[in-house]
Chain A
Amino acid sequence: MPLTPPQLEALRALLDRLIPVDEFPGALATGTDQFILQLLTHTCAVEAPAIAQSLTHLDAEASARHDQPFAALPTAAQDALISDLEHNRTATPWPATFPAAAFINRLIDLTAEGFYADPANGGNRDGASWRMIGYDPLLPARPSAP
């Protein structure tokens, strides 16, 4: 596990805003957190420390503004904070090597990758996002290729 429990809680809360639930399931209900954790544990392990540290910064940023960690904020406050991060508008210091905008853009990408890629990657459970948008790979049940 590349994240501490508070970092994991912040990650899940963030995913829940990046692709929220509406009439269709969002990132959290379809396993995108598992997709990201798996990637940070294996293929992208080199990125894990910076992302973990940024999740701690996210909570610090939330606390500086609202005296609460990110996961405890109302959704409107969470969304406002995410918008500010996209523009590097921060109330607390973020590392110059991985500024707030770089962090949030990476998380936006990772969340979409988990949510819209094939379910075998760990997100998009049961192809939920594909059903939502009208995509089916239509692969034959029994491939005849050698």
Chain B
Amino acid sequence: MSTADSTYDVIIVGAGLGGGIAAGVLAEAGQRVLLLERGRDLRYRDIPGDHLRHHRLSLYGDNTTQEPAGHPRVFVDPEGRSRTVFPHEADYHNNALTVGGGARIWGMQAWRFHPDDFRMASRYGTPAGSSLADWPISYADLAPFYERAEHEVGVAGDHTATDYAPRDRAFPLPPVPATPTGAWLARGAATLGWNAFTPPLAVNTTPYLGRAACVQCRQCIGFACPTDARNGSHNTLLPRALATGRCTLITRAHVARVLTDASGRAHGVEYFAPTAPNSAQTERRIAHATTIILAGGAIETARLLLLSASPQHPRGLGNHSDHVGRHLQGHYYPVVSGLLPAGFQNPNHGPGVSIATTQFNHGNPGIIGGAMLANDFVKLPIIFWRSHLPPDLPRWGSANKKAMRELYLRGIDLRGPVQEIPSPNSRVTLDPQVRDRFGLPVARLSGTTHPETLRTAEFIRARAEDWLRAAGAERVWSSPMDLRLSASQHQAGTARLAADPRDGVTDPFGRVHGHDNLWITDGSLHVTNGGFNPALTIMALAFRAAAKIAATT
């Protein structure tokens, strides 16, 4: 073991949205922060614009994973067969591995959850076999921190239209420009009597916080932003943390365990890091701190809690009630495709998402929860070819080529993140056999979402079809969905908030029950994951936890 040994006020594991925000808040509050990130600090030019290797289509790799072979996972399918999977495979449930995390390549939808998303069990009851529960906090508890995230990270939106969640302040940036397809969909929504509006996106629609505006390119989601107009912690709170001189960022650092004493107090972490910034050699190190924060995403945070078992905590930290790693969830995404009327000239302005409805997030007869529905990003040609041509078309030959030519600019699709009904059996455990390059057991993913999720997804799919038909789509098609495990970029739920230690892993602020100075600031905390993209909620919880830590240490 290396003798490198150092002491900080705070150690944060993971420099994604939640970790970067905690670093900014705490460093500015005067604390000395060690921020450990397993990825590199990738620049724009380091994240290739490869249409076959990015975070929406990762056929042969992705554009942020640097060491794909050294960090496999094990996936167990619904029939119980397990296999080793690598980061570019769907069953790995990957997120971008870089400073900034998923926000380097995300679609930027920055939604507040609906007030009823925090009280799903109270509103709907808990279906048998599910672990559907209320959050121990309400929308009102989180609202001030949603506002901070919107202003300090930067969200563009229309505050007059997003009325499902009460707000005190307008968005700091004007909404993304209306598009012809958005206007066409708005007319369709109006004929149905639905409220549709411009969704909130964390993008600079005008220059903001010292960075340029979006240039509306057509290579957006899954890729790095050429003008740095896509907002996340990497270009806001993290630079603020580093500017204090009190935050040390170490990249390619893999945390092996959180060190705890007999009382359960966390006093440090053991990690592997390069011997020098660009070295291939790694060494084992120990760092100590008064406060430890985990922000590695719902899969790796759960794995780290389990890897940190000790004689006093033989089942892993925070795992007194067997909740660590359980309730793993993401979002089911029904996708409905169609064709714009012949002659419709779609100019395909980027990013592409320009209209949404929250008409079906709640209050659907006989259905638990629901989803926001929105149009999608400008499609890459190869993604359009793979997934959005009419299903009865030949897959090859002149007819296929002609259809690509005639239909590419007429493609339209709607999709929405269906709020999952969590299952305790959808989970992260430690694999008994497969190890990573440091000899540590890898994450083993098993189980599926609860079948109620499928009912909600089917309901939402039907509403998306209604919308395209009402708008006047020439054809509309979609496919039913299967029961499966869901996590991926929206991974959540594996260390959920709970007032009572018997019901979850952390207290209502994100502090691990039984470990007074061990905190979590990522999607693991989400009791349920909302019928919305979860990033703004991750950010709000991170602002809230960091403010609490700053006020009490």
Contacts and interface: CB of A to CB of B under 8 A. Distances in A.
Interface stretch (B12-20, B403-411, B444-452, B512-520): B403-411
A139 B51 CA distance: 14
A44 B396 contact: no
A138 B215 contact: yes
Contacts of B216: 138
B50 interface: yes
Contact of A121 (B43, B50, B217, B402): B50
A20 B401 CA distance: 8
Interface string A49-93: 000000000000000000000000000000100100000000000
B360 interface: no
A40 B212 CA distance: 41
B382 interface: yes
Interface string A94-113: 00000000000100110111
Given A111-B396, A146-B43, A22 B52 contact: no
Given A117-B382, A132-B405, A139 B49 contact: yes
A12 interface: no
A145 B50 contact: no
Given A18-B397, A112-B386, A135-B381, A24 B405 contact: yes
Nearest to A117: B51
B397 A20 contact: yes
Interface string A120-146: 110000000110111111111001111
Nearest to B54: A118
Interface residues of A, number: 38
A48 interface: no
Contact of A143 (B218, B227, B397): B227
Nearest to A109: B386
Given A18-B397, A43-B60, A117-B50, 17 more contacts: A19-B397, A19-B401, A20-B398, A20-B401, A44-B60, A111-B396, A112-B385, A117-B51, A120-B48, A132-B404, A134-B409, A137-B218, A139-B226, A140-B215, A143-B45, A143-B226, A146-B44
Interface of B: 43-45, 48-52, 59-61, 212, 215-219, 224-228, 348, 350, 380-382, 384-386, 395-398, 400-402, 404-405, 408-409
18 contacts: A18-B397, A19-B397, A26-B401, A39-B60, A79-B397, A82-B396, A108-B396, A113-B52, A116-B382, A117-B52, A120-B49, A121-B50, A132-B405, A134-B348, A135-B380, A136-B218, A145-B44, A145-B226
